[in-house]
A and B are shown apart, each in its own frame.
Chain A
């Protein structure tokens, strides 16, 4: 069934049916509008075996309640034009975002309580006196105290955790201000005092919870998208047992097992080749872009991609013993180093927290000495605490980074780390990986230099073979009409030969056709032509390099590939600084060396050979097509579109940091005006409420400017 009418959607009963607990989840990136929701839900409702389906437009996912295998649902969605990817339920984890809901609930309670107390306070500010004022204060206390105790718990808990280990964080002055303001106001209300700060305590809690909620939402959005990426990756292998293949988790592979690697699949473990020949893409390890041919007995590494026919492998090492895993461990070490980065907000809090306490304590001491009235001194110092309390400070960074991250998300960037924006803004050079990032493998031939006959024969021959090079060539030739061939025959690992109008024609390896050169050779009769296999620049690579250069970020190319190829790519992009034949470890070393000289670089790479460098660089970006490990090691994943948008990432990051600093400045300005008034004892609850609201609202509006930049 589909719950398509808004009324059904709103009814809680309908929702329970529509969001089945044990559902198959599919990622459907192309869902955009109401029409898509209708099309998908009504189509799936007609498929036998599907109980219900529900589209989540925000997450671009479909939850299906069914016994059918996910692949079948994906196929059925493809029939109506939606590309769908089954998500691994285990990697996705249980649904539900309870901490977000929890914060939202506290925020709602604080908000409603604040509004009610504010109404009562307005009456007091406008001149209520005597018994009326006392009554209003007491009603306010009745609303505010339970609300504060419930809503401000996240701050109390954080502050307590920090105090237990003898540290001060932003939450300590916040908690202190909230608790002291509530306690003091209660005392004042019971004793007929003039000033009560219940509204201030509540609005403080409310505004700060907004900041917390924004932070939490950004984090969980990034977290769930990152989880989704890893849920796409298969972590299984096909083990052969008595001639029958069974699917087992990679963790269950043992030395000596025989595994089957199908075409296009990744090799799950290190091992020796049992089949006569195999072709794999090893670029993740070496950066070398050509497919590599292996003979029986050759050693293959986990992570290589099978480009040819299925082959069998005898496992030598699996899991933690593979080369893949050794590299993963290097990544973890490098990431730990980066986690020590102190964010702008933390640095601000470090100066701020002790400063506020000192100021409040001095005010208290000063007033006790000057007037000897402890109650009055306490009142004034609480006013200082409230006025200086980091309402704007707590919102300054979360508001900006939420706006910036959601803007980047619309552009196709997934920002995974909270401090990534600050680190991206500090970067002063960009290091590119070559293969897979700047270039993609393929043929780059000048077709005008071939005759029509040559082209049609090449197309026909290349179509006939399933070899990856041959397929790439056939794709490159596009819709050229293939020639009619007879006696077509494929020699495995060498090439294809046939007869064309009585003459022998062949397409294959240079050595097989007794020619020299790389790539493929086309032979028609006795004449031969070389079809060099080269690589073409990826879409947007030139714009990315030029655009970032215009921002004052010079580019460097690090590649595991040969100097010749690396140089040609660097020349085409106008990059002067390039290093070829660099191993994964050397890539990371080169980056650490330059950071030792005070250069902070941003690594852009997609392969496993880049992951250590991605993790050790000051900031890092991986294309969405990158290997799982590379994506998880980087701060930003380019989910959609091309590298072309890279300059916008840096521009937005710089803008975000500039706005954060502006926000701090605005907050500081408000404090600079309000603190002297508070210390002098002239602060009233009305003034505190105005200062707090105005600074918070200015900061939020300023943050929203990230979203409207051109």
Chain B
């Protein structure tokens, strides 16, 4: 069971990292124009 002492913090950290990433996408207005962002991938330069 000692492995839990490592795995639980790891899982919490990973979850936290996901949350931070989500908050960042939200703060940088990435949900404003989903259609446009999808189309922009096709543009070059």
A108 x B22 contact (CB < 8 A):
yes
1/0 contact trace for B8-45 toward A, CB 8 Å? Answer: 10011001101100110011111111111101111111
A108 touches B43 (CB 8 A): no
In the complex, A393 has a CB within 8 A of chain B: no
**Which chain B positions have C-beta within 8 A of A34?**
39-43
Please give, as numbers and ranges, the residues of chain A lying within 8 Å of B31 by CB-CB distance.
101, 104
Q: Is A112 an interface residue (CB 8 A)?
A: yes
Q: Separation in Å of the A634 CB from the closest CB of chain B?
A: 27
Whether B1 sits at the interface, judged by CB under 8 Å, is yes
Do the beta carbons of A108 and B29 come within 8 Å of each other?
no
Assembled-state Cα–Cα distance A58/B40 (Å): 12
Q: How far is the CB of B11 from chain A (nearest CB, A)?
A: 6
Main SS at interface, chain A: helix
Tell me whether B32 and A56 are in contact (CB under 8 A).
yes
Residue from B1, B27, B44 in contact with A4 in the complex, judged by beta carbons closer than 8 Å: B44
Residues of chain A lying within 8 A (CB to CB) of residue B37:
9
Q: Interface range on chain B: under 10, 10 to 19, 20 to 34, or 35 or more?
A: 20 to 34
Docked complex Cα distance between A12 and B25 (Å): 9
Q: Tell me, in angstroms, the Cα distance from A58 to B35 when the chains sit together.
A: 5
CB distance from A79 to the nearest CB of B (A): 21
Residue of chain B at shortest CB distance from A132: B1
A131, closest chain B residue (CB): B1
Chain B residue numbers with a CB within 8 Å of A55 are 36
Contact between B39 and A109, CB atoms less than 8 A apart:
no
B43 vs chain A, min Cβ distance (A)? 5
Bound-complex Cα distance A112 to B27 (A):
17
B18 is contacted by which of A15, A37, A112 (Cβ under 8 Å)? A112
A57 touching B33 by the CB < 8 A rule?
yes
A119 contact from B11, B42, B44, Cβ within 8 A: B11
Residues of the B chain whose Cβ atoms lie less than 8 Å from the Cβ of A598: none
A108-B19 contact given A19-B29, A101-B26, CB 8 Å threshold:
yes
Interface set, chain A 370-401, CB cutoff 8 A to B: none
- Which residues in B have their C-beta under 8 angstroms from that of A104? 26, 31
Q: Is A112 touching B43 in the complex (CB atoms < 8 A)?
A: no
For residue B5, give the distance in angstroms from its CB to the closest CB of chain A.
Answer: 10
Min CB distance A6 to B, Å, is 5
> If A15-B28, A58-B33, A139-B8 touch, does A37 touch B19 (CB 8 Å cutoff)?
no
Q: Is there an interface contact between B19 and A112, defined as CB atoms closer than 8 Å?
A: yes
Q: In chain A between 12 and 45, which residues have their CB closer than 8 angstroms to a CB of chain B?
A: 12, 15, 19, 33-34, 37-38
Give chain A residues whose Cβ lies under 8 Å from the Cβ of B40.
4, 6, 9, 34, 37
**A112 pairs with B36, CB closer than 8 A:** no
Whether A12 touches B33, Cβ cut-off 8 Å, given contacts A33-B39, A108-B22, A119-B11, is no
Q: Is the CB of B15 within 8 A of A115?
A: yes
Complex contacts, B26 vs chain A, CB 8 Å: 101, 104-105, 108
Option from B12, B22, B34, B43 in Cβ contact (under 8 Å) with A116: B12
In angstroms, Cα B33 to Cα A105, docked, is 17
* Smallest CB-CB A-B distances: 8 pairs: A57-B36, A34-B39, A34-B42, A112-B19, A57-B35, A116-B15, A108-B22, A56-B33
